[in-house]
Amino acid sequence: MKLTLKIWRQKSANAKGGFETYQVQAEPDMSFLEMLDVLNEQLVAEKKEPIAFAHDCREGICGTCNLVIDGRPHGPQKGTTTCQLHMRHYKDGETIVIEPFRASAFPVIRDLVVDRSSFDNIIQAGGYISVNTGQAVDGNAIPIEKEQASKAFDAATCIGCGACVAACPNGSAMLFTSAKVSHLALLPQGEVESKKRVYEMVNQMDTEGFGQCSNVGACEAECPKEISIDNIARLNRLYFGSVFGSDQGK
At 211 the three-state DSSP class reads strand
Instruction: Judge contact between 211 and 163, C-beta under 8 A.
Output: no
Phi, psi of 25 (to 5 degrees): -100, 120
Give whole-number Cα distances, 196 to 178, 185, 244, in Å: 14, 11, 12
Asked if domains 2-110 and 117-244 share a fold, the reply is no
Every domain of the chain and the residues it spans: 2-110, 117-244
Class of residue 61 by CB neighbours under 10 A (exposed 0-12, middle 13-18, buried 19+): middle
Which residues touch 127 (CB under 8 Å, ≥6 apart)? 180, 181, 184, 197, 201
For 144-157, the DSSP string reads: --HHHHHHHHHHHT
Instruction: Judge contact between 195 and 241, C-beta under 8 A.
Output: yes
From first to last of the 250 residues of the chain, give the pLDDT tens digit: 999 999 999 999 999 999 999 999 999 999 999 999 999 999 999 999 999 999 999 999 999 998 999 999 999 999 999 999 999 999 999 999 999 999 999 999 999 999 999 999 999 999 988 877 777 777 678 888 999 999 999 999 999 999 999 999 999 999 999 999 999 999 988 888 889 999 999 999 999 999 999 999 999 999 999 999 999 999 999 999 998 875 554 5
CATH architecture of 2-110: Roll (3.10)
Which of 108, 97, 102 minimizes the C-alpha distance to 11? 108
CATH for 117-244, options being 3.40.50.150, 3.40.50.2300, 1.10.1060.10, 2.40.50.100: 1.10.1060.10
